[in-house]
A and B are shown apart, each in its own frame.
Chain A
Amino acid sequence: QKEVEQDPGPLSVPEGAIVSLNCTYSNSAFQYFMWYRQYSRKGPELLMYTYSSGNKEDGRFTAQVDKSSKYISLFIRDSQPSDSATYLCAMSLTTDSWGKLQFGAGTQVVVTP
Chain B
Amino acid sequence: DAGVTQSPTHLIKTRGQQVTLRCSPKSGHDTVSWYQQALGQGPQFIFQYYEEEERQRGNFPDRFSGHQFPNYSSELNVNALLLGDSALYLCASSLYEGVVVETQYFGPGTRLLVL
> Could you tell me which A residues sit within 8 Å of B by CB distance?
4, 6, 8, 36, 41-46, 49, 88, 90, 94-106
Contacts and interface: CB of A to CB of B under 8 A. Distances in A.
A14 B54 CA distance: 46
Given A99-B56, A103-B44, A106-B41, 12 more contacts: A43-B90, A43-B106, A43-B107, A45-B106, A46-B105, A97-B56, A99-B94, A100-B33, A100-B58, A102-B45, A105-B42, A106-B40
B90 A99 contact: no
A105 to B, nearest CB: 5
B101 A98 contact: yes
Interface size class of B (residues with CB under 8 A): 20 to 34
Nearest to A42: B108
Nearest to A92: B101
B107 A101 contact: no
Contacts of A104: 42
Nearest to A32: B101
B42 to A, nearest CB: 3
A97 to B, nearest CB: 7
A22 B99 CA distance: 28
B76 to A, nearest CB: 14
Q: 8 tightest CB-CB pairs across the interface, nearest first? A: A103-B42, A43-B106, A99-B48, A98-B101, A99-B33, A44-B106, A100-B45, A105-B42
Contacts of B105: 46
Interface in B50-82: 55-56, 58
Contact of A96 (B4, B101, B108): B101
Given A43-B109, A100-B56, A95 B45 contact: no
A104 B56 CA distance: 20
Contacts of B100: 95
Highest count of chain A CB atoms <10 Å: which of B58, B100, B104: B104
A60 B59 CA distance: 36
